[in-house]
Amino acid sequence: MWRKIMVFGLVLVAGPAWAQDASNDRPLTAAGRQVDQSATGSDQGRVTSRIVEQWKGTEFTFEKGAAARELTAQDVQDYRAKGLGYGEISILLALAAKQDSQTPLAVSEIHAMRTTDGMGWGNIAKELGYTSLGSVVSSVKKTDQTLRADRAQRVDRTGKGGKPDSTARIEKAERPGRPEKIERVEKVERVERVERPQRPERPEKPEKGR
């Protein structure tokens, strides 16, 4: 009797703990949001390159029945065009890459489970055979760390202590030109002196008789 009670108690305790590994997607969702935050304000091309570099050497089956190949920048851009954030793309790639199944699903199929079926990441992970999200969360956190490190380097280049470059000084407004001095009114030319009338010549005195 006691053994049955003890076994039943262990099931009640261990059951939920095991289920949290695969169904509790809060840590995974939080890691994805952190990736989005770290990517905010960064050049999209640079973020895309960092994600591609992280998965270099890993082959993905993007479409069902298609040959496996490595991730390209165009793949990331295509998922961005479909409305996925960088965090969601990181989670999607991590789930696709870490599958242990002999018949892994294509990236497009996993994406459809999320968008078409409306499944949460935890339920998707369980469908893919995951019993723990630890490896997936680690991959997403690695993406975040890469973006953070890249961002820190760019901040260091802008100035000491990560301070942005000093704002250019506002040019002083040009002082209004001083009004030109009013030209002095030219002095009125002095009126020419009226010439004095010449004195009439005195008549010559008549000569006295000789």
Q: Where along the chain do its domains lie?
A: 25-157
d(CA 33, CA 86): 9
Q: Residue 70 in 3-state DSSP?
A: strand
* pTM for this entry: 0.66
How many other C-beta atoms are found inside a 10 Å radius of the C-beta of residue 127? Answer: 15
d(CA 15, CA 84) in angstroms, rounded, equals 33
| pLDDT in the model for residue 94 | 98
Contacts of 120 (CB under 8 A, 6+ apart): 25
Query: Mean pLDDT of residues grouped by 10 in the chain (210 residues)?
Result: 42 36 81 97 94 97 96 98 97 95 93 95 94 95 95 72 43 48 49 57 56
